[in-house]
Structure 1
Amino acid sequence: MPYLIQAFFAGLAALLPTLVSKVLVGLGFGYVTYELGSFGIDYIYQQIASNAAGLPIEIIAVLKYAQTDVAFGIMLGSYAAALTIRGLTSAGSVTKLGVRSAP
């Protein structure tokens, strides 16, 4: 039994450097992609808010009634999530799940 535990920890010690490096690279790419995406999304949101301030009150009321603010929030949030996932998959730390066909 002690030999089995010793072999397990020896194997784990051999895999640990590559595992840690992949996790750190994945986190780094994900963080950078998220920050750049967040900066871009904040800029787009500020542009929409500044351009909407010059609209007549009737048009603002129609846009509010149509809940375009909620729609833009959903679109920008999904774009931020897509950027984060794209950053993680490009680093190789997250793989796509799919059905594999039989050989």
Structure 2
Amino acid sequence: MPFLIQAFFTALATLLPSLVSKVLVGLGFGYVTYELGSFGIDYIFNLIVTNAATLPVEVIAVFNYAKLDQAIGFMLGAYAAALTIRGLTSGGSVTKMKLGAPNS
């Protein structure tokens, strides 16, 4: 039993530097992508709100009946999630990490 614990910690010690560096790089790219995407999404949302204020009351009532505000919220939220996932997978390949000895 002590041999298994020692083998586990030895394998963990060889994988840890590579794993930590890839995760941190991936999180960094994900954060930058999310912040830039959040800025763009906020800009689009504010543009929609300012232009919707100039619409006639009848058009706003139809949009309200069609739940267009919720649909736009879903689309912008999905886009923000996609940007975050794309940022995490582009930098450091978080989803495609190979387990093995680190490259020298």
Q: TM-score, normalised by structure 2?
A: 0.83
| 2:94 counterpart residue number | 93
1:24 Cα offset (Å)? 0.5
Q: TM-score, normalised by structure 1?
A: 0.84
The 3-state SS of whatever aligns with 2:94 is coil
3-state DSSP class of the match of 1:21? Answer: helix
User: Where in structure 1 do 4 or more consecutive aligned residues deviate above 4 Å?
Assistant: none
Give the aligned CA root-mean-square deviation in angstroms. 1.3
Please, which runs of 5 or more residues in structure 2 have no aligned partner?
97-104
1:64-103 aligned at under 5 Å gives the runs 64-91=64-91, 92-95=93-96
Runs of at least 5 residues in structure 1 that lack an aligned partner in the other structure: 96-103
Q: Which structure carries more relative contact order (alpha carbon 8 Å, separation 6+)?
A: 2
CA distance in 2, matches of 1:39, 1:88: 18
Which whole-Å CA distance do the structure 2 matches of 1:8 and 1:69 have between them? 52
